Each structure stands twice: as structure tokens, then as C-alpha cells.
Amino acid sequence: MEVKVLFFGVLAEVTGTRLKNYYEVKTIGDLKLRIYDDFPEVIHYNFRISLNNEIINNDPNLNNGDEIALMPPFAGG
């Protein structure tokens, strides 16, 4: 299975990418560990996570084709 991870704002800058695909990850918790392995600096930033356009506060299972976003505090307007 494959999921798409989007990085926004300052996280796009510190990771040097806006998009990375991850494979065979079961939960958001697993995915976060993989992201911290790839981009250790991310752990120093405050961010929320969305799964398929909905902000999540738990650790749901992931499915093939899911879109996950790492989002620093919003600053629109």
C-alpha cells in the first residue's frame, strides 16, 4: 500500500520537499516515526496532521491512497 504525505509552510522548507510517498505504513504513528527518520528536524516544529482533508487527533489505521498533510499553525488572511 502507498500513502501520500504533503508538507506545508515551514515544513516544506525544512524537509526540502512538498510531497513524499510512503509505503507499507499501518498507522499515523508508524508514519510519523518514518517521517522523523527521514527528516529529523521536523520533530522540532509544531504541526497538526490531516488525513484526507480532516484534522485528526488520534492514531487511525491508514489505507492505500490516503493523503496525509503535516500542517504548521495556519496563518491565512
Partner 1 sequence: MKSDCLINGPITPDVITSLMEKISERTDTGGHSVFLGQVRADYENDKKVKAIDYSAYEGMVTVEVEKIKEIILAEFTEVKSIEIIHSSGIVKAGEISLLVLVSAGHRHHAIMACSKAVELIKKKLPVWKMEIFDDDSHLWK
**By CB under 8 A, is residue 17 in contact with partner 1?**
no
Which residues have a Cβ under 8 Å from the Cβ of 45 and sit 6 or more positions away?
A: 10, 11, 14, 72
Hey, what amino acid is at 40?
P
Q: What is the DSSP string of 46-65?
A: --EEEETTEEESS-PBP-TT
Looking at the Cβ atoms of 37 and 44, the one nearer to partner 1 is 44
**By CB under 8 A, is residue 42 in contact with partner 1?**
no
**By CB under 8 A, is residue 67 in contact with partner 1?**
yes
**By CB under 8 A, is residue 72 in contact with partner 1?**
yes
**By CB under 8 A, is residue 2 in contact with partner 1?**
no
